[in-house]
Structure formats: C-alpha cells, structure tokens
Homo-oligomer: A and B are copies of this chain.
Amino acid sequence: MVTARARAATPPRAAAGSLHQRILGEIEARILTGEWPPGHRIPFEHELTTRYGCSRMTVNKVLTQLAGAGLIERRRKAGSFVRRPQFQLAILTIQDIRTEVEARGLAYRFTVAVRRHRRAGKADSPRLAVPAGTPLLALTCHHFAGSQPFCLEERLINLAAVPEAADALFADEPPGTWLVDRVPWSTAEHRIRACGAGPAAAALFGIPEGTACLVVERRTFETDQPVTAVRLTYRGDAHELVALFTPSQS
C-alpha cells in the first residue's frame, strides 16, 4: 500500500491513511512475510519514533494494537517480540439462514412444523440450563431453499427470559431473527458436530436415517440467563462451514 507522505514537519497527512495505519501496515507486512520471524525483537518504541519521525504515543498505539491482535508480545524492559503463530484463531461466520439461502440465489421459505408450550423437565437441562418447571416454547421449523429442504431447526425458548415470545406466532419472521431483534447483546456458545440423521431430519430431507448430517447447536445467554437453545441440522453432503483465518484480522 502506497501512502502519499510528503512533507516532514507538521503532519497534515493525506487521505492515503493515517500515519499509525501506515506504520501498522509496514510492521505487519514484515511479520507476515517472515522478514521478522517469530521471536525477533522489533525495534523499540523510541527507535520507531526516530524512524518515522513521530511521537511515542503514535507508535505505542500501533504496538498496542499489534499486541491485541496477537502478532507481537510486549515485555517491559526487554522489548516487543514477534509471537509464534498462534494455534489458529478462526473467525467463523454463522449467517442467518435467510441470508445464506438468498446468497445462493434461491427463494427462502420456512414453515413452523411444531409450536408447543410446555414446562422444562429434567431432560431439558443439558440443552437449556433452567430450573424444572420454567415455561418454555418448543419450536420445530423447516427452512427451504427454493423447493429443497435446507435446514431443520429445533428450538427451545426460555419464556422466563423472553416472555413476549409466548404470543409470537413466527408467521412472517423465523424465530432466529425474531429473537435477535428483541434480545440485546448476548453470549452464544456453538457446538458443531456430525451425527447420523434422526427420524425428523430423515423425513425432512428424504434421506435414510443415519446419513451424515452437520449439526450446529447454539445456546444463547444474556447475563448468564439462558435465552434459547437451537439445533440446526443440515444435510452433510450439501452444507459446510467455512472459516477464514487471517493473522491481522483488521
């Protein structure tokens, strides 16, 4: 990336990016190309200030950011060092189903196959950690891409956490999007498994029971209170999750 940095003293720096972004890019490039291999000590802050002719705050911001991204490690008195490549952090984009179907150029449609109010029993606690007796809404939805069945959704909603879900019919909006619009920031735990198709999945997809399916389970918490647990089952031969890991991630 080229930056139009003309001029020495005062920095009315051009639109090609801020100074610390340029510094960040250069250091990052040196690390990523291996010019500065893992363990290499990168220049001290005061060296970088003279090299780039800027103040220490500026290079400090850059190095702090690199440390946050995990590319370098900073040790007082010793300096800053290129880290060994980490056991990889992958960022997995789990889209919502409508978006994913429409990205393939297919028409999205869903049906609510089962919608039932009941109270939590002991059998529910592995999926949704609520006390027995808590009111729940149990849903089974079928998602279609064009005319093909795409995904089987089996969901439990904790009505103690989201009471307004009791009256939601999910006619226009699938439960996933309905919830995301109403529940604020939450923590989610995903589990990705392969398992053989059960009766429901086999019937929906028209495949023999036991055929490999990809199952994504998501449990959602809001300040430690369970909100919803959902199991999404996909045909194993028609679906895969893709994750791209780039060191910089910025």
A116-129 CB mask vs B (1 if < 8 Å, else 0) is 00000000000000
Give the residues in chain B near A211, CB-CB below 8 Å: 196, 210, 212
A221-249 CB mask vs B (1 if < 8 Å, else 0) is 01100000000001011011111111100
Q: Decide if A184 touches B38 in the complex (CB within 8 Å).
A: yes
Q: Decide if B96 touches A1 in the complex (CB within 8 Å).
A: no
Residue of B nearest to A250 (CB): B68
A71 at the interface (CB under 8 A from B): yes
Residue of B nearest to A5 (CB): B87
A163 at the interface (CB under 8 A from B): no
Give the residues in chain B near A239, CB-CB below 8 Å: 193
Q: Decide if A190 touches B244 in the complex (CB within 8 Å).
A: yes
Q: Decide if B241 touches A214 in the complex (CB within 8 Å).
A: no
A91 at the interface (CB under 8 A from B): yes
A180 and B223 CA atoms in complex are apart in Å by 38
Known: A195-B236, A247-B187. A93 touches B85 (CB 8 A): no
* Nearest CB in chain B: distance from A217 CB, A: 8
A95 at the interface (CB under 8 A from B): yes
Known: A68-B250, A184-B37, A236-B193. A96 touches B87 (CB 8 A): yes
* Nearest CB in chain B: distance from A7 CB, A: 8
Q: Decide if B92 touches A87 in the complex (CB within 8 Å).
A: no
Residue of B nearest to A234 (CB): B194
Q: Decide if A90 touches B195 in the complex (CB within 8 Å).
A: no
A189 at the interface (CB under 8 A from B): yes
Give the residues in chain B near A6, CB-CB below 8 Å: 189
Q: Decide if B223 touches A186 in the complex (CB within 8 Å).
A: no
18 additional contacts, CB 8 Å, given A31-B185, A190-B243?
A38-B185, A68-B250, A84-B180, A85-B186, A87-B93, A87-B186, A88-B93, A90-B91, A90-B190, A92-B243, A188-B244, A189-B242, A190-B244, A191-B242, A194-B236, A196-B211, A196-B212, A212-B213
Sample 14 A-B pairs with CB under 8 A, ordered by A number: A33-B223, A34-B185, A84-B180, A85-B185, A87-B96, A88-B188, A89-B93, A90-B91, A187-B246, A188-B245, A189-B243, A190-B242, A193-B236, A194-B214
Task: List the 3 closest A-B pairs by CB distance, nearest first.
Answer: A194-B194, A194-B236, A34-B184
